[in-house]
Structure 1
């Protein structure tokens, strides 16, 4: 009888997330190595996890804990030898923020022949995410992959029959030169490197290159598939469609959406969408169009955007390319194109009124390879933001101007307005550790505070964008452009919420405390 009395308390301790199955620890090991690859047929050495590109898919269920041991085994000094892994879009609690992986904000990178283990409970979050190196533009060399958190009780499960690793789709830009060469070229010329090719599920072609096989996705007639489409690019937007098929969007950046039927989806760097596709066409092969947009093609004659594609292959169809022409698919923007302003969350949460207002004006000065927010280009500090907060930093003035750090009390609502800027290029801004309400999308003049989409990457450009988010999760969080060449040139900021609460809640382990001294002791060529 006594045991029965204590049973509820025991179950509560084992399951801190009511309504979920008992948490399972999902263990993964990523060995970061330099290895050969040729995703578009051009051979080079890259930075790879477990020797693959894209890297291993990390999967878990709602309520699980993700534990990822990263072993840095890099040896090629032509690329960065240190690393730090970020899990884009995955929420991390304040008391665990040291596992967030943002170099010089929440942690320091770690050098060759060392390891670090990231561990974080996933709580109630579900959806499509990705992991990558947050250090400089290192992930352009290949260090990137998907993270999927499944919901065993998905309220939209009735719309599809298949949702597994075979339905994860990635689009990515790819360079034949290393990221260090690309960044040096950008700093010298102000011209962001244009990729040599666009990849669909890790395969593609470049102009004049070999006829590398396109990645094929298998389907069976009459079956409905939930495809999780993730743009793991370092710069590029992709416009994705499937010949003769419609796409029903049901998720945006980890947020379930009211089903929305479209015929083409544009994703900017870092964005994700799930869509349902019904295999209802005659048995055959159909082009999956993954058309790249990122810079002036004249800056790289290897790039042929039309060669970015995959194949939807019905069971019973020959192992061959479609016989239909390669096209760019339906127009975007266009009558059937996905518009961010048309997305609605399945569970609407009105955007609260702001307590603080920021205006971010992005600008690239003439003859200088820097990007600025309100006249300031972000420069990573020598001492990470989190370390400074733990040591007592509590106000904007406690940080260098070039840290572009904005400090707010906990539990406040912040509104960030990006004014229309017809002379600027598009910037997909990403907020770490949180979602924001897109009160006004770049593609619309409508202000929506009733049921706007919540996501973590949204485009800023000539139409103007308004975002709102809360500081109910204290900590320093990166808020930056996901075109990583822009980010490396200064287009970033840090939002700090509740520094006093951070000091109360954050108690880092010794493994984390040792990262910065070890990194600082490395010779520059190993950093």
Structure 2
């Protein structure tokens, strides 16, 4: 018996030591600064680099690793942060990198260490989440390798592919939120990149299988993806493994990710175009010199021709990509039960009193608080579960621990919106219109909101992901479990729309946040250096946490009718107009008057006629 106990003990110790050996700490030191780059070959410009380099380094870890990123802001003139997109951040939502939600902005000359456990797997990315700065190049892939993935032994090699829109102007030089852009038209990109360049190759060998990770790290435009004369198997979306599913075309909105298996042909006769097509329906205008279709190559033979793809698709009519809502998770997680909480939201776009175009969820345009929301939670004590603490214009939603939450998102806007939820993936249980109906067919009629009494049956094992596209004038319905206490943003991932306020904040189990989260001293140092308060409610009030009088507020709405001031101005304008017309009429009907005067110098006859209507002058004699 003693030997049996000893054997079990030794086995347990061996297992623990094996686990400790497998998990490791992966450390990156990032000096964020400006560098010069020319990715499309058309214009060299200033971009955000890391350690003097651009493109930025790909972060790679194994599932279970501790990721440490020591970041120094060397930009000199801009705040910064890092959001690790798709990371759950269990017990570390203060490492989520969302400015004024989960941290203070990291000002020029300040440092911050992101430190968290990566207990998940798949394809992710990282980017700046302070103001709207990642269009300036501050974004790159984050890959979590998993030797236990069900498809781990089904491929020979892997590639990571990023696609993005690219601007020749710095964000600060683009006039977007402006009186001169009242329609809120998004800035048109200057080019579209593939792995931060153009006309590139993925070198492959015949008869092998490759895992290709696809990430849209753009700020605005979704893209269609396919490989000429090849099909592929989808095995992952947004970090969620799926049943292997055959497809030949994908739609990848900004912030979405896929992992696909591609098996190559058994010949090296030619190279095959990898084609990306811009979703041009998102663009208000299309400049003549803007190339909407890009060709890169699955390169079988470096010596063979690299021919441009022949594009025959029309984005607005006949492109029907694979429908992601039909994917079945590999873990076969069933539809969550009926929700404990339902959140109903409507997206709209409108102008406010300053003339700028803004975006709204239920008529609230997200406005950052004076105190980052996570710090309001930590300093609110027993009032942490009172939404008033977090201000009206952060659009806070308090979620109870382990509640099933159903979020219904209706779109009153004519554009599509890829919405992302921090800290979670979610079940996608309904959407309209479907891809087969084509999103933009809906624009012919009025918006169609979700009808809880009239909808198709929800799937038994719904697709899960963390970014999903809300169709124009349609809706979607998602469910998730509030099992991750933290402060989480829910927002449109078109970065221009986020800057317009298309966001809200979820405060999930605030009392649990207080129990599980530890805010390092360095975080408060960053706040002090940036001059940002880190205690109190959204208004910065530390005495009365329910007093939001001094909170940051969204710009006021345009009045539905005339204000009192406007009425007075209109009345006096009308009176002035009537009096003016009367004087002109009387003056015009009067006889012309002749003015005569002597010229004291040369006594010449002069004449001057003052008359209305340009009457001919009359000669007058000088009086002597």
Common topology (TM > 0.5): yes
In structure 1, the gaps of 5 or more residues are 205-213, 523-527
Task: Summarize deviations over 1:168-220 as a string: whole Å, max 9, x none.
Answer: 0000010000012225466640221011111011113xxxxxxxxx1111110
1:292 to 278, 295, 300: 278
1:415 to partner: Cα distance: 0.6
2:216 to 228, 231, 235: 231
Written as runs of structure 1 = structure 2, the 5 A alignment for 1:366-377 is 366=351, 368-377=356-365
Bigger RCO of structures 1 and 2 (CA < 8 A, at least 6 apart) = 1
Q: Which is further off, 97-106 or 392-401? A: 392-401
Q: Which residue of 1 aligns with 2:587?
A: none
Written as runs of structure 1 = structure 2, the 5 A alignment for 1:32-111 is 32-41=32-41, 42-75=43-76, 77=77, 81-94=78-91, 96-111=92-107
Q: Does 1:200 align with 2:194?
A: yes
Report if the CA contact (8 A) 1:195-1:300 is conserved. Answer: no
Report if the CA contact (8 A) 1:415-1:466 is conserved. Answer: yes
**Aligned equivalents of 2:430 and 2:422: distance in 1?**
20
**Aligned equivalents of 1:251 and 1:219: distance in 2?**
21
Report if the CA contact (8 A) 2:236-2:258 is conserved. Answer: yes
Q: Which residue of 1 aligns with 2:450?
A: none
1:296 to partner: Cα distance: 2.7
Check 1:329–1:220 CA distance in 2 against 1; reply closer, same or farther (3 A cut): farther
**Aligned equivalents of 2:314 and 2:37: distance in 1?**
32
1:424 to partner: Cα distance: 2.6
Q: Does 1:440 align with 2:430?
A: yes
1:157 to 152, 173, 176: 152
Report if the CA contact (8 A) 2:348-2:411 is conserved. Answer: no
Task: Summarize deviations over 1:52-101 as a string: whole Å, max 9, x none.
Answer: 443111111111111111121113x4xxx11000000011112x221111
1:305 to 282, 292, 295: 292
Bigger Cα Rg: 2
**Aligned equivalents of 1:472 and 1:288: distance in 2?**
40
Secondary structure, in 3 states, of the residue corresponding to 1:514? helix
Q: Which residue of 2 aligns with 1:517?
A: 528
Tell me how large the CA RMSD over aligned residues is: 2.5
1:336 to partner: Cα distance: 6.8
Check 1:4–1:161 CA distance in 2 against 1; reply closer, same or farther (3 A cut): same
Report if the CA contact (8 A) 2:214-2:257 is conserved. Answer: yes
**Aligned equivalents of 2:47 and 2:376: distance in 1?**
34
Written as runs of structure 1 = structure 2, the 5 A alignment for 1:215-364 is 215-280=200-265, 282-283=267-268, 284-293=270-279, 295-296=282-283, 298=285, 300-306=287-293, 308-314=294-300, 316-318=301-303, 321-322=306-307, 324-327=308-311, 337-352=321-336, 353-364=338-349
Q: Which residue of 2 aligns with 1:403?
A: 394
Report if the CA contact (8 A) 1:266-1:332 is conserved. Answer: no
1:293 to partner: Cα distance: 2.1
Task: Summarize deviations over 1:304-352 as a string: whole Å, max 9, x none.
Answer: 202x3322111x3327532x54426697986872102221111121232
Report if the CA contact (8 A) 1:297-1:303 is conserved. Answer: no
Q: Does 1:413 align with 2:397?
A: no
TM-score (ref. length: structure 2): 0.75
Report if the CA contact (8 A) 1:108-1:516 is conserved. Answer: yes
In structure 2, the gaps of 5 or more residues are 435-454, 534-624
**Aligned equivalents of 1:480 and 1:447: distance in 2?**
27
Secondary structure, in 3 states, of the residue corresponding to 1:359? strand
Task: Summarize deviations over 1:424-469 as a string: whole Å, max 9, x none.
Answer: 3111000001111111134536442420111100011233100111
